[in-house]
């Protein structure tokens, strides 16, 4: 890679964001009713887990994604953790997921005492490959008493957790078909994909449960926050119960009927998030406009492929991504851009290569390894 080529990329990004100052990877935008709702929340004194903004957020979010129910949590990891419990995952069960994901996916599995199995991703979606999942199940599994049994370990494969990488939907309908056939509960890690659609249906609503995140770098943020979505009223009711320390409702008594979690989203965070949701369509429009600018520019650069939304999807383009030719080129790109005030980041280290998950069962992970060596995120903030 010639130095001038990287310089041209840096100059284009600076021009696109209209600054030669430091350009972060992704920063939030607070341009609506955030301060108004926060002040209202503070004035009400209901700043903890009870308040009108939590209820309003849950109602508005469910409408936004087309789910019947939404239950707000303190963060996306908590949402996924509870979702897996509600999917019936227990200690020593196995959960199929992808190695190319943020650590939270595997942490949530591990909190229960379950064990991840790593299945390769598709190159075009960077999400779990239905073909790889089909091959793994046919080679390694059998159905007994309507349960999927791993013939290698003898354990039950209870759930499958695909992730919509950087907001690009994976082939979630094909994954669901396989999960249904093999009696595996589908739980979507939709942490990054608010505003993304697969075949005109919002991500996170294909499985029995879906989990979203509103961390500070997400497309809308509450500083920290998450939500569980489901169409099952019984599951939604238990989700709220478990995330509220499993306390039996009573005017003044403190009685808890099972081990619960202090995972309920505070009203203060929900106030911020209600205002952010009001701006979602504007944010999505800006993201897609930025994607078009990047796509047009990188078409002229021989050594860079811009990551575009897969067919039959509409992506939120949460984090814009490019693929370089090899790891050495990637490393030079990362070093140069960060040294020159343009924040870029590699894709995650594969979960299967981390010490705590190195002994987990996996397939060849060919595509995951290829992407790990080449994918870089570039500045992706909303430009308004």
Coil, strand, or helix at residue 239?
helix
**What are the structure tokens assigned to 346, written together?**
């590699």
How is residue 2 written in tokens? 């010639």
Instruction: Specify the CATH number for the domain of residue 338.
Output: 3.90.1150.10
Terminal Cα-to-Cα distance of the chain (whole angstroms): 33
Look at residue 382 and tell me if it is in a domain.
no
Q: Is the pLDDT of residue 3 over 60?
A: no
- Is residue 384, in this structure, part of any structural domain at all? no
- pLDDT at site 330: 97
What's the chain's average pLDDT?
A: 97
Domain-embedded: residue 383: no
Range of the domain at 21: 3-25+280-352+361-377
The stretch 199-218 carries a mean pLDDT of 97
Please identify, among 220, 250, 278, the residue that sits at the C-terminal boundary of a domain. 278
Domain membership flag for residue 152? yes
pLDDT in tens, 280-335: 999 999 999 999 999 999 998 989 999 999 999 999 999 999 999 999 999 999 99
Check the CA dihedral 33-41-251-257 and report its sign. Answer: positive
Q: Are residues 318 and 232 in the same domain?
A: no
> Would you say 139 and 131 are in contact if contact means Cβ atoms under 8 Å apart?
no
Q: How confident is the model at residue 5 (pLDDT cuts 50, 70, 90)?
A: confident
Q: What is the DSSP string of 50-76?
A: -SHHHHHHHHHHHHHHT-SEEEEESSH
pTM of the predicted protein model: 0.96
Confidence of residue 152 (pLDDT cuts 50, 70, 90): very high
* Boundary residue ending a domain (216, 249, 278): 278
| 304 and 262 housed in the same domain | no
Rounded mean pLDDT, 42-57: 94
Report the number of distinct structural domains present in the chain: 2
Q: Are 323 and 346 in contact, with CB atoms under 8 Å apart? A: no
**Are 271 and 332 in a shared domain?**
no
Burial 257-276, CB ≥16 within 10 A → b, else e? eeebbebbbbbbbbbbbbbb
Among the candidates 278, 309, 340, a domain finishes at 278
Nearest of 201, 148, 233 to residue 314 by alpha carbon: 201
129 and 233 belong to one structural domain: yes
Output the domain CATH number for residue 212: 3.40.640.10
- pLDDT for 350 equals 98
Q: Give the strands of the sheet with 201-202, arranged side by side.
A: 201-202, 197-198, 313-314
Question: Could you give phi then psi for residue 267, rounded to 5 degrees?
Answer: -60, -35
Residues 92 and 206 in one domain: yes
Q: Are residues 98 and 50 in the same domain?
A: yes
Q: Is 235 in the same domain as 325?
A: no
């Amino acid at each position: 890679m010639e130095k001038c080529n990287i310089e041209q990329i840096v100059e284009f990004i600076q021009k696109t964001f209209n600054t030669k100052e430091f350009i972060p990877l992704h920063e939030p935008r607070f341009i609506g009713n955030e301060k108004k709702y926060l002040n209202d929340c503070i004035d009400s004194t209901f700043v903890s887990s009870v308040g009108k903004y939590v209820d309003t957020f849950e109602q508005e979010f469910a409408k936004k994604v087309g789910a019947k129910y939404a239950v707000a949590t303190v963060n996306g990891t908590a949402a996924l953790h509870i979702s897996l419990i509600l999917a019936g995952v227990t200690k020593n069960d196995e959960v199929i997921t992808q190695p190319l994901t943020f650590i939270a996916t595997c942490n949530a599995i591990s909190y229960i005492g379950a064990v991840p199995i790593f299945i390769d991703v598709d190159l075009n979606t960077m999400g779990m490959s239905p073909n790889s999942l089909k091959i793994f199940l046919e080679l390694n599994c059998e159905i007994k008493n309507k349960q999927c049994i791993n013939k290698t370990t003898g354990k039950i494969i209870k759930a499958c957790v695909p992730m919509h990488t950087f907001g690009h939907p994976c082939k979630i309908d094909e994954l669901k078909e396989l999960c249904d056939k093999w009696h595996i509960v589908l739980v979507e890690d939709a942490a990054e994909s608010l505003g993304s659609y697969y075949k005109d249906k919002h991500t996170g609503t294909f499985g029995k449960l879906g989990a979203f995140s509103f961390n500070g770098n997400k497309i809308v943020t509450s500083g920290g926050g998450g939500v569980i979505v489901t169409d099952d009223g019984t599951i939604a009711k238990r989700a709220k119960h478990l995330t509220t320390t499993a306390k039996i409702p009573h005017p003044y008594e403190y009685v808890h009927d099972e081990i619960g979690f202090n995972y309920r989203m505070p009203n203060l965070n929900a106030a911020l998030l209600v205002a952010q949701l009001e701006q979602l369509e504007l944010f999505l429009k800006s993201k897609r406009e930025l994607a078009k600018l990047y796509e047009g520019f990188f078409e002229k650069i021989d050594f860079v492929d811009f990551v575009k939304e897969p067919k039959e999807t509409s992506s939120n383009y949460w984090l814009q991504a490019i693929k370089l030719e090899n790891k050495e080129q990637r490393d030079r790109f990362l070093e140069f851009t960060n040294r020159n005030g343009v924040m870029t980041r590699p894709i995650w280290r594969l979960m299967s290569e981390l010490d705590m998950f190195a002994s987990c069962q996996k397939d060849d992970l060919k595509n995951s390894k290829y992407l790990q060596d080449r994918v870089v995120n570039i500045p992706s903030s909303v430009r308004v």
